[in-house]
Amino acid sequence: MRKLILMSAALTLVGCASAPDDENLCGTVSGYLEPAKDQGLYRAVVTHLDGKPVISKPNYQLAPGEYQFTVAELISDPAVKVKLAARTPKQFVINVEANERYHIGAQFNAGKIYRGMDDSYWQPVVWQQESYDCERVKLPDSSQ
């Protein structure tokens, strides 16, 4: 009986050691890189994550899953002549996968002159996706 208990305990420990630590898996959404303006891409800043206001930061380390980002564009192009009231944040969804980094920005829809309250001059985009080793670090108070 003692051998059976020891064997069961050993198998349990081996299983724990080889199982992936799913709660530390993450992906990263980044807005710090300057995208290629010659491709109509500009920086964007995150204002809300899943409907909650956030202080904008360069990287958002997130568990795998679907997230709704609200972003404001930082487009500096003379073709944009819309009213300040039309320069409002927009929402988009990113399905974050483990060990991936998503660079977000604002895609300027060039090709016509935008005036007045026309907010169709841009949309939020993921302009680059890359493999990235990501492991969430647990804080002592468990807040992220």
pLDDT tens across 11-23, in order? 444 444 444 566 7
Write down the residue that tokens 């997230």 correspond to.
67
Residue range 3-13: mean pLDDT, rounded: 46
The predicted structure's pLDDT at residue 115: 79
In this prediction, residue 84 carries a pLDDT of 84
- Whole-model pTM: value is 0.77
Q: What DSSP state is assigned to residue 135?
A: B
In angstroms, the CA 2 to CA 70 distance is 59
User: How buried is residue 63: exposed, middle or buried, by Cβ count under 10 Å (0-12/13-18/19+)?
Assistant: middle
Alpha carbon distance 87, 21 (integer Å): 42
- Average pLDDT of the segment spanning 34-53: 95
